[in-house]
Structures are given as C-alpha cells and as structure tokens.
Amino acid sequence: MPSTTLITLALCFSVSAGPVRFAPHRSRAGAVADFSNAQLASELNIQFKNLTATSPCTTGQDACVKGNFAQCVGGKFVLQACGAGTICAAVPLATSPGTNVTCTTPDDLKTRIAAVSFARIRVVKF
C-alpha cells in the first residue's frame, strides 16, 4: 500500500510541475503593424462617411455606406443593413496586417482600436 501512495504522489507532482506558459512577447514590428491597422481603420471610417450608394467602386470592394454594410457588385454598392445596435465600420485586425469591414457595436469598435493603438489616433464618432 505505501508504494501505491508514493506512485500517486509522484504522478500528482509531475502533473502540477508542468511548464509555465506566458503570453508571447510582441515584437516592436508587431506593435507598429497593430498601430498601422488602427490608423488605417480610423482613416477608412472617415472615408466611409462621404460614401453614398451611387459612389464609384471596384467590384469586390467592401465599405460602409450610411451605416450599412456595402459590397461593390458590377461597379455599384449593394447595401445590407446591420443588425439592431450595430454599425458598419472598418475594424483593425489583431493578428495580421489590415482591417475588416463588418457590422459591430460602437463600443466594440472603440475597444478594438484602443487595444491595438500605442499612440493617439483619431477615432471617428458614430
């Protein structure tokens, strides 16, 4: 019986002594890319304020028109309303360069831009 207890204790300690994992350290280049994403998202959101359903566009282009998600089909924007409590906006990607045009809440947009910003940038009010 004592050997069973010893083996059980040994197994418990080996499991609890596993490696400690820390969040990966972000490189300076990653921080610059994050800031660029936030800046690009803010600039796109400013540009979206001037778009209309009849604005010229390139097929496949996603945008926001008057708070609606818009996709360019055949040189014209096709609008799709966002759900209740959401707006269309460009949001910065967190893990790769660029932005995503999507329906989101105003608070989520502010949070995402703030999360990847390391300096003051202009955030569009909706």
* Cross-strand bridge partners of residue 104: 87
The torsion angles phi and psi of 77, rounded to 5 degrees, stand at -75, 130
Strand partners, 55: none
pLDDT higher than threshold 60 for residue 88: yes
Structure tokens at 26: 């972000």
Q: Is the pTM of this model over 0.85?
A: no
Q: What is the dihedral of CA 79, 84, 89, 93, to 10 degrees?
A: -120
Structure confidence at residue 43 (pLDDT): 94
Cα 56 to the chain's mean position, in Å? 27
Mutual angle of helices 106-116 and 28-48, in 10-degree steps: 150
